[in-house]
Amino acid sequence: MVEEKKQEPENKRPPKRSIGRKIGSVLGWLFVIGLMGTLFIGGSVLGYVTSIVKDEPVRSRALIEQKMDDNAVTGFAYFGDGSPIGQLRTEEDRRPVKHDEIPQIVIDAVVSIEDNRFYTHKGVDFMGTARAVKQRLLNEPIQTGGSTLTQQLARQAFLSRDKTSDRKVKEILLSFRLERFLSKEQIITAYLNKVPYGNGSNGYNVFGIKAASKGIFNISDLNKLNIAQAAYLAGLPQLPSAYSAFNGIGEFDEKSFKRAMKRQGLVLDRMLEEGKLTPAEHKEAKAFDIKKSLAPRTQKAYVTYPYLMMEVERQASKIIMELNNPKVDGEQTKENGDLMDEARSELSTGGYRIYTTIDRTIYGAMRKIAEDDSNFFPDSETKGKEQTAAMMINNKTGAILGMIEGRDFKTEEMNYATQMVRQPGSAMKPIAAYLPALDSGKVQPGSIVDDSPVILKDGSNGYHIPKNVNWRYKGLMTAREALNHSTNTVALNLFNNVIGIESALEFSKKLGITTLVERDYAAGTGVIGGLTHGTSVEELTNAYSAIGNQGKFTDAYLIDKIVDSNGKIVYKHETKPVQVFSSQTAYLMTDMMRTVITNGSGSTVRDNYKHFNKVPVVGKTGSSQDYGDSWFLGYSPDITLGVWVGYKHSVNTLDKPQRTHAQSIWAKVMNETINLKPDLFPTKEFKKPEGIVSKTVSAYSGKLPTELTDKFVTDLFNAKFVPTERDDSLAKAKYITYKGANYIPRDGTPEEFLKEQIVIKRVKPIDELIKELEAAFAVMRGGHESLQFYIPEDANKGMPTKVDPRVDDGRAPTPPKNLNYSKGVITFSPSGSPDVVGYRLYRSANGGPFMNQGQVVMADGTKQFTTSGGSNVTYYIVAVDVAGKASEPSAIVGNSPVPDPDPTPDLGNETDGVTPDEGTEEIPDTGPQGPTSMPQQPGQPTIQATPDGFRATWSANPSEDGVTLYNVYFSPNNDGIYQIIGTSQTNEFHSSNSSPISGTFRITAVNPVGESSASPTVFFEKN
């Protein structure tokens, strides 16, 4: 029994579990496995998300709010009247709005098509996302986006546009954060300010609802959009490039427009479904003709006004840079490119409004003239396009009213008016020579200056002797005349010697010339265009405007004010005039430049400017060496206009007709400006200030006349600088002329080689000038003209200060050689003796005795005698030295059998006959009785000007002289070299030559025996 009981438990089986317990166990294990899976997947997702966002910054509320308000805003430039020039340079147009500026219809349209649960979700719409996935999987015809407006805003503000899963995760998380910190109003407003809408009618990419409304429909006020237009705009952000009705240059795109209209229909349908529209509104919107309401195509400002927009951007960027960096001066500004780049970027995205001084009408007229090819030479294969630049400035304010920056922006983008620097040539003379000289009283318009060579040191060539444009040196003239004819030598003397280079250039700097450098202070030709760099059209025009502003310099400016995107004025130009020179100086300079136009080098302006009777103008020409540049700077009492013409590279010079193009362009611009904007010229005359007087002075010295003064100048003076000294420049002197200079004669020099008249004392005597020239010639390596070329035309009037440099060698001179006679003209070679002062001519008629003809040729004159000719006459010449010794007669020439000359003729100054050689056969008188000797010299001639020339008269010879005619001789240089200019059978001679004339005259009488000695000389001048 016991054993049986012990074995019982071994054989006993456990009871079976119920089905319910089994199911519960399975479910328990599935729950555990599911939980473990969920934890594993959640951990993986969390790890994945963490790996994505581990480097993503946690953005604070302040940062998010700042970013929402941080919109790149389009900037604009405006003309002086407030009308738009255009959008600042950028490919985008952005115009932010506030929430209260957005009409509800626009918000309803956007929310209906983009995010219909916008006001209920917390940043992500999972139902909308699921719907979008279903539409994509099933390829349904209507596709909607899965991103909410908040997600799209997060993407626009913080993320790239790359379509990756990483970005989507960041977008979702950011959306939750945006919804946490921002209101729905803030989100919808930020969205509508940042999303792209494609191209506007001007080709710009428009961002934001306001820029889209303006660019696509030309509607600036969003409240004026109708339902159809609002729906059209709401549909564009999904695919702006595909739906854009305009391409990148503003051309209409039919295919894209049709796609956009299909999208607009969907937007209207959604709005109807969402209850935002009534069926009637829906029908009306569907029927609206959107195409007709599109904005007309317009050009970008950089197409319409490319030069001007570039200049506005350049100057405005500089102003912004200086505002942001007040401790950086102008020079550092030029050198610091990074600061300028930052300023340009800020300008293009900061929503600035740039208000300029440019007058739209004037600027358009100036551009039209610049773009008219008929005003210029055809393009050259070697030189390129003839260019021009101009600047018009208001004298009183300094405001730039208009400019020509170049002819064609497509050919050359550089602004020739503001950025180009070229040699100003003679246009620099008023600025660096005449103005400082007038203001210091060292010169007045009637002052006498000397047009004679100025010898300048030249490091490479030893010396440089500048020439005038006419290749002449006229001598003494008034300062007014020197400026009228743009005489280089006078300006050079004022610049180098009267004012001094340093003072002249410092004066120029006060007038706004900023391009001067240290080397210019050693440039003796700086006043005529020998500067290191030159000047810009803007700065030189600005300097001239100070003259029109009565001596007050006002810095020229283009930017009047800059307003930021909030309407705050961040910059306003302040006019700060500076009195650089007196109003009296300004008036005198103005009056001198008046005659530049009426009597001088500004003749093209004189002939083409049409408003002298309404608007007085004055000005100055200028041209650089070899005519690489041509200028005209002119002004009225109100406006200054400067014009430059040339080629891009100054080595390409202007042809002769082109050299007046600057003047013709100036006249065209002024004529058009006065026609279009006469109100810019209210001042009808240059106002004469107190302290200006008229005074008559000696035309020889500029001092008060004396009893010797026979030539006068009446001109304007600053009363402070009216001369008080008496003329001490005149004296009667006897002298001899040699190499163009007058010298004190040596004892023994025959009288017939001397002259006696009123002579002029010059600041630099001619003999001293010759000495300096010869010294310079000795070391000049660049070549030079002959000495005679440099002698002033009035050198014969100079007072002698030194004795004739020729010294008697104690011997009689050798006779002249190589005589040749042809048609009354005798030429010869000079004597070989160095002390010869001149030559006498002897004549024999019909084999009679040789008689001194009273004609002389000076040693340095043309080796030629002009005779009255005749038949059966012969001649010889003798040389005479400083001591009066005469040479042996030369060989005899003539047109009759040659008699032997008396080997010992009387070589004195008397004109008696020469005793024939012994044994000479006397010729019996077989004809009728007549004069047996040459006539006596005629009396003192007098000359009077006539309207068409002049009239000369003299005392008639007695009848027994048998005079058959009188010869009239003229010496233009008063150097003893005379030429016959006419004959008369009476004691009167008329000339109808209306050209200017200046020189000495003398008369001889002719009878059958020969020609008398010459009458006393008379000087005559007619301009």
Which of 937, 934, 938, 936 minimizes the C-alpha distance to 1009? 934
**What residue type is 748 in one-letter code?**
G
Q: Can you give the residue ranges of every domain in the chain?
A: 91-293, 369-680, 691-723, 730-797, 817-894, 942-1022
Of 759, 707, 755, 733, the C-alpha closest to 475 is 759
> CA dihedral in degrees (29, 33, 38, 44; nearest 10)?
170
- Write out the two tokens for 573: 């130009």
**Between 254-273 and 279-287, two packed helices, what is the crossing angle to 10 degrees?**
170
Q: Helix 583-599 and helix 537-548: axis angle, to 10°?
A: 110
* 578-579 vs 400-404, strand pairing mode: unpaired
Sheet of strand 836-845: strand arrangement:
851-858, 836-845, 873-881, 893-894
- Fold identical between 817-894 and 942-1022? yes
Q: How far is CA 751 from CA 52, 254, 430, 687, 834, in A?
A: 117, 104, 47, 57, 19
Assess contact for 388 and 661: CB atoms under 8 A: yes
Using CA atoms, how far apart are residues 932 and 930, in angstroms rounded to an integer?
A: 6
The model's pTM is: 0.70
The strand pair at 92-94 and 205-207 is best described as parallel
CA 534 → CA 77, 316, 515, 527, 529, distances in Å? 31, 25, 7, 10, 7
Retrieve residue 378's tokens. 């055809």
- Inter-CA distances, 351 with 72, 80, 310, 662, Å: 7, 19, 17, 40
* Residue 634 CB-half CA count within 13 A: 32
Residue with the two structure tokens 């005749």: 870
d(Cα 240, Cα 122) in Å, to the nearest integer? 27
CB 766 within 8 A of CB 735: no
Structure tokens at 730: 């005149």
Element (H, E) at 184: helix 184-194
Q: What is the pLDDT of residues 228-276, one digit of tens each?
A: 999 999 999 988 888 999 988 888 999 999 999 999 999 999 999 999 9
Question: What is the crossing angle of helices 209-217 and 184-194, to 10°?
Answer: 40
Complete DSSP assignment for 27-64: HHHHHHHHHHHHHHHHHHHHHHHHHHHTTS----HHHH
Supply the pLDDT for residue 339.
82
Kindly list the distances between the CA atom of residue 443 and the CA atoms of 433, 452, 474, 722, in Å, as whole numbers in the listed order.
10, 17, 19, 10
CATH class of 942-1022: mainly beta
Name the DSSP letter for residue 384. B
Residue 981: what pLDDT? Answer: 83
Task: Tell me which residue of 822, 745, 802, 788 sits closest to 977, measured CA to CA.
Answer: 788
Name 632's Cβ contacts closer than 8 Å, sequence gap at least 6: 427, 602, 605, 619, 620, 621, 622, 642, 643, 662, 663, 665, 666
pLDDT at 925: 34
CATH superfamily of 817-894: Immunoglobulins (2.60.40.10)
How many Cβ atoms are within 10 Å of 126's Cβ, its own excluded?
Answer: 10
**pLDDT for res 659:** 93
CATH T-level fold of 91-293: Penicillin binding protein transpeptidase fold (1.10.3810)
Q: Which of 314, 869, 866 is nearest to 877 (CA)?
A: 866
**Inter-residue contact 444 to 479 (CB < 8 Å):** yes
Structure-derived torsion over alpha carbons of residues 902, 904, 910, 913, reported in degrees to the nearest 10: -20
Residues contacting residue 83 through CB under 8 Å, at least 6 positions apart: 360
Of 368, 399, 371, 366, the closest CA to residue 387 belongs to 371
- C-alpha separations of 723 from 677, 711, 714 in Å: 44, 17, 12
86, 87, 357, 490, 685 from 309: Cα distances, Å:
8, 9, 13, 43, 36
With a cut of 50, which residues of the chain have pLDDT below it? 1-10, 12, 44-49, 51-54, 903-928
Helix, strand or coil, per DSSP, at residue 779: helix
The answer to whether the beta carbons of residues 119 and 210 sit under 8 Å apart is no
Distance CA 387, CA 406 (A): 6
Instruction: Detail the DSSP E strand segments found in 771-929.
Output: 817-822, 825-829, 836-845, 851-858, 864-866, 873-881, 893-894
Q: Do residues 961 and 995 touch, judged by C-beta distance below 8 A? A: no
Element at 111 (helix H, strand E): helix 104-114
Place of tokens 């002390």: 835
How far is 181 from 159, CA to CA, in rounded Å? 18
The type of residue at 105 is I
Check if the beta carbon of residue 231 is closer than 8 Å to that of residue 213: no
- Determine the 3-state secondary structure of 969 from DSSP: strand
In three-state secondary structure terms, 811 is coil
Superfamily (CATH H level) for 369-680: DD-peptidase/beta-lactamase superfamily (3.40.710.10)
Q: What pLDDT score was predicted for residue 289?
A: 95
Can you tell me the distance from the alpha carbon of 39 to that of 654, in angstroms, rounded to the nearest whole number? 89
Q: What is the 3-state secondary structure (H, E, C) of 563-598?
A: ECCCCCEEEECCCCCEECCCHHHHHHHHHHHHHHHH
Dist. CA 192–CA 213, nearest whole Å? 12
User: Is the CB of residue 817 less than 8 Å from the CB of residue 890?
Assistant: yes
CA dihedral 334, 335, 337, 339 (to 10 degrees): -80
Contact criterion met (CB below 8 Å) for 630 and 623: yes
**Can you tell me the distance from the alpha carbon of 260 to that of 217, in angstroms, rounded to the nearest whole number?**
14
d(CA 544, CA 541): 5
How far is residue 537's CA from residue 333's CA, in Å, rounded to a whole number? Answer: 22
Give the chain's end-to-end CA distance (angstroms, integer).
175
pLDDT of residue 137: 63
Distance CA 65, CA 68 (A): 5
Q: What pLDDT, on the 0 to 100 scale, is given for residue 592? A: 96
